[in-house]
Amino acid sequence: MKKKILVCGAGGFIGSHLVSKLKKEGSWVRGVDLKYPEYSKSTADEFVIGDLRDQMVVKKVLDQPFDEVYQLAADMGGAGYIFTGEHDADVMHNSATINLNIVSYGQKVGIKKIFYSSSACIYPEYNQLDSDNPKCSEESAYPAAPDSEYGWEKLFSERMYLAYYRNYGLEVRIARFHNIFGPEGTWNGGKEKAPAAICRKVAEAASGVNLAEIWTPSGVRRVPSLEIWGDGKQTRSFLYIDECLEGISRLMNSNFTGPVNIGSEEKISINELAQMAAKIAGLQELMINHISGPLGVRGRNSDNRLIKKELDWAPSQKLELGMTETFNWIKQQMAELQKKEMAKQN
Ligand code: NAD
């Protein structure tokens, strides 16, 4: 019998990739989102455009005891969206409402199992002040002190799903994602995250859009350049989308509830990430201009001891491989956009 699956947030980056994977595995999939995927057509059997803050919509999409529900819908974006404080009320209200609706209707209709996508943003700021030694083991989440309202909402929702597990026996699986990236992720417009933003900026620099003038004794030299928020010494790890999906699938098929980190342990500074993208682009030189901007914590890295213990697996792909895929995809997107703009002008 085909598994029946609901994917909430199926128009988003991870959700759209997840739908493709579940379809390839032979499941029947219904997707729901405010919008269709931006960069390719969804392969879902049914795709409902709807607002999951609305209980009527949630009732409509949760009309049967699905074998699996994946709850990925959230009001989110990169640092420019989460850390400026301008979207705090919307982020908290919208995502909490979605989670409250899904878990309560899901439990009532008798869904078999639900996956909830939490985030590394739940970890306390006080453990991430040193870029060389961030602490992100799962049990270090408390005493809680996330550095964003986005993180507080995720922590609240984790606890709510766990409460439904304890009180109603709802099978839940909770993962804390650490910076997932890859092709078909947002790459422009303000909601893009660091790897995509850096790939775009490096591709622009390589095409001669951003050139810095360097004065030398033999004259002025023009060098590809880009802007980075802060001093670029802040560290993160980034996980390629395919390994994220693998982790979700392994967690769903295990008996482990979580929360568990799904992330890479390959820590890198933002300056180094820019240099990596420059190397991929074939640039000999890159000038980095450090400007002020929203930053988040000083250092963050996945701690994969628990996932290895519980699932006997952890992500292992080198970051440069995923960055190469992502860079090539963004370059292609930029070329297509340029073509469209030129066609408009003619
Ligand atoms: P995304 O923004 O691409 O996808 C989220 C989707 O939710 C969007 O398509 C959006 O339209 C949809 N959505 C928002 N409000 C909705 C509403 N009211 N009704 C219906 N749909 C709504 O984000 P993503 O990168 O695919 O992330 C998926 C999940 O994983 C999110 O919950 C996110 O918080 C979590 N997460 C992601 C990362 C990451 O690095 N991408 C890291 C940690 C956690």
Q: What is the pLDDT of residues 257-287, one digit of tens each?
A: 999 999 999 999 999 999 999 999 999 888 8
CA of 9 to the centre of ligand 1 (A): 6
For residue 296, is pLDDT > 90? Answer: no
72, 40, 80, 73: which is closest to 191 by C-alpha?
A: 80
For residue 192, is pLDDT > 90? Answer: no
Whole-number pLDDT of residue 212: 77
52 close to ligand 1 (CB < 6 Angstrom): yes
pTM of this structure: 0.95
76 close to ligand 1 (CB < 6 Angstrom): yes
Can you read off the two tokens belonging to residue 183? 């092709």
Q: How far, in Å, CA of 199 to CA of 333, rounded? A: 11
Pick from 14, 100, 300 the residue to mutate for probing ligand 1's pocket: most ligand atoms within 8 Å of its CB: 14
CA of 336 to the centre of ligand 1 (A): 25
- Classified as helix, coil or strand, 138 is helix
Instruction: Tell me how far CA of residue 107 lies from CA of 7, 65, 167, 185, 236, in angstroms.
Output: 16, 9, 11, 31, 36
By percentage, how much of the chain surpasses pLDDT 70?
Answer: 100
Whole-number pLDDT of residue 159: 98
H or E stretch at 310: helix 305-311
Question: Which residue in 70, 150, 165, 240 is the catalytic one?
Answer: 150
Question: Does 123 qualify as catalytic in the annotation?
Answer: no
For residue 208, is pLDDT > 80? Answer: no
For residue 293, is pLDDT > 90? Answer: no
DSSP 52: T
Domains and CATH numbers, the chain: 4-182+237-266+300-317 (3.40.50.720)
CA of 8 to the centre of ligand 1 (A): 9
For residue 248, is pLDDT > 90? Answer: yes
